[in-house]
Amino acid sequence: MYAPPVQRLIVELGRLPGIGGRTAQRLAFHILRSSDADALALADAIREVKEKVGLCEVCFNLAEGPRCRICLDERRDPASICVVEEPGDVIPMERTHEFRGRYHVLGGALSPIDGVDPEDLRIAELLVRLRDGQVREVVLATNPTTTGEATALHIADAVRAQSPDVVVTRLASGLPVGADLEYADEVTLGKALAGRRTL
């Protein structure tokens, strides 16, 4: 129906989350109408983010270079690690200004139905970080969903088995059940962090 390059753009845009066929079409035509400079700025931004941003070798947060800013920051408390599902969950936690430790990004949550097993998450890497005895607390800030809760319990067991001296805490309830951390406001999330309980 459309020239192949236009069709290709619609297909690629349609693969983005939350973008249906009609929206993909509308965005494609918006790009076609916009100036060369605007359209190429978008293309360059995508290229640059893929070329320059990778994952931190320590915590698997997004990083420009081998380590993320939080892992490089000497003022952060090395005795405390907050475990989250995705890099996008670090930002709402940071916005609370309640957490001064470092992070560990799992890369998802356990979900046997979707074929996500413990080996698919960075749980082994977390356990390695606990071995030097510097970490005193692991805060499990996985989402308050079925998969997030299952992940928290699994990690709590694994940490207890390997490092019984490390205190494992979970964000307090008050977070909307079934919701993603990403969508919690900073006051609610800050209270959930302050009221965390031992698992």
Residues that bind Zn ion (CB under 5 A): 56, 58-59, 61, 68, 71
- Is the Cβ of residue 61 or residue 147 nearer to Zn ion in the bound state? 61
Residue 104 C-beta: closest distance to Zn ion, Å = 8
Residue 21 C-beta: closest distance to Zn ion, Å = 38
Query: Would you state the structure tokens that stand for residue 177, as one six-digit string?
Result: 């059940």
- Is the Cβ of residue 59 or residue 135 nearer to Zn ion in the bound state? 59
- Is the Cβ of residue 52 or residue 160 nearer to Zn ion in the bound state? 52
Residue 112 DSSP label: G
Pairwise CA distance, residues 158 & 193, whole Å: 22
Residue 79 C-beta: closest distance to Zn ion, Å = 16
Pairwise CA distance, residues 66 & 73, whole Å: 14
Pairwise CA distance, residues 80 & 36, whole Å: 48
- Is the Cβ of residue 125 or residue 180 nearer to Zn ion in the bound state? 125
Residue 59 C-beta: closest distance to Zn ion, Å = 3
Instruction: Write out the DSSP string of 38-100.
Output: HHHHHHHHHHHHHHHEEE-TTT-SEEESSS-HHHH-TTS-TTEEEEESSGGGHHHHHHTT---
Residue 11 C-beta: closest distance to Zn ion, Å = 35
Residue 101 DSSP label: S
- Is the Cβ of residue 13 or residue 90 nearer to Zn ion in the bound state? 90
Residue 72 C-beta: closest distance to Zn ion, Å = 8
Pairwise CA distance, residues 198 & 170, whole Å: 6
Pairwise CA distance, residues 126 & 83, whole Å: 9
Pairwise CA distance, residues 154 & 109, whole Å: 10
- Is the Cβ of residue 59 or residue 189 nearer to Zn ion in the bound state? 59
